Amino acid sequence: MTDNLIFAVPSKGRLMEQAAEALGNAGLKLRKTNSNRGYRGEIEGLEGVEVAFVSASEIAHYLKSGHVHLGITGEDLIREHIIVADERVELLLPLGFGRADVVVAVPACWIDIRKMAHLQAMAAVFRRTHERRLRVATKYTNLTRRFFQAKGVTDYRIVESLGATEGTPASGAADLIVDITTTGATLKANGLKVLDDGLILRSEAHLIASRRARWSQTAIAARDRILAALRG
């Protein structure tokens, strides 16, 4: 087993570009070791580090299991995929990009539904009237369950969303949603509003360390150099 630090960074999309830019600005230039299509790399000039290019959601799983030492991914994915996250990982540093809010949004035409308590009161009436529970479309099933339980909302069922979650109420596939938003413009365009107390999490990308990984002295030294560089 290698003593090197395994550093997972996003493999695609805007998060990959922003992570590479943030690291580059800190003097930590990423380089793929095989080809531009490869999934392994290094940080130029920094020994003892192996870079793994994987999806943002996979990074959360690898940090949880200890298969990687460090990773860059969104806090929303960490809180969703790791039930007791603070026992498995340590959020070392917010990175200032990938910002998004995880929110509860309902149809704007639900004029009297402004808070989670209103939603719970409505759920019982809704079930009697429609003979079914409220349907909540989301990719964030664990965050939704924990938040709804904390707010005392119990009479609902989750519809797992695989596509554009914000469109599910208009299509009839769900009654409300839990999703991420940055400006709220997409929600508004789809006739939705965020509940007054419907903010579940303010998320952004973090540098995150696994508490389950095997930390050699080489890995610890590399972590400290990466963290110091990003802190500036």
Do 198 and 211 share a domain, yes or no?
no
Do 218 and 123 share a domain, yes or no?
no
Domain count, the chain: 2
CATH code, domain carrying 63: 3.40.190.10
Query: For the purposes of burial, counting CB atoms within 10 Å of the CB of 4, is it exposed (0-12), middle (13-18) or buried (19 or more)?
Result: middle
Do 75 and 141 share a domain, yes or no?
no
Do 123 and 156 share a domain, yes or no?
yes
Do 65 and 135 share a domain, yes or no?
no
DSSP for residue 219: H
Do 174 and 215 share a domain, yes or no?
no
Beta strand ranges found along 108-232 (DSSP E)? 134-138, 156-160, 176-181, 192-203, 205-210
Look at the pTM and tell me if it is higher than 0.85: yes
Do 21 and 85 share a domain, yes or no?
yes
What is the SS3 string spanning 88-130? HEEEEEECCCCCEEEEEEEECCCCCCCCHHHHHHHHHHHHHHH
Residue-wise pLDDT tens for the chain (232 aa)?
Answer: 689 999 999 999 999 999 999 999 999 999 988 766 668 999 999 999 999 999 999 999 999 999 999 999 999 999 999 989 999 999 999 999 999 999 999 999 999 999 999 999 999 888 889 889 999 999 999 999 999 999 999 999 999 998 899 999 999 999 999 999 999 999 999 999 999 999 999 999 999 999 999 999 999 999 999 999 999 8
Do 172 and 195 share a domain, yes or no?
yes
Would you say 106 and 166 are in contact if contact means Cβ atoms under 8 Å apart? no
Do 124 and 177 share a domain, yes or no?
yes
CB neighbour list of residue 6: distance below 8 Å, 6 or more residues apart: 50, 52, 67, 68, 69, 70, 213
Parent domain of 190: 100-203
Q: Which helix (H) or strand (E) is 87 found in, with range?
A: helix 85-88
Do 209 and 174 share a domain, yes or no?
no
Do 180 and 213 share a domain, yes or no?
no
Do 174 and 224 share a domain, yes or no?
no
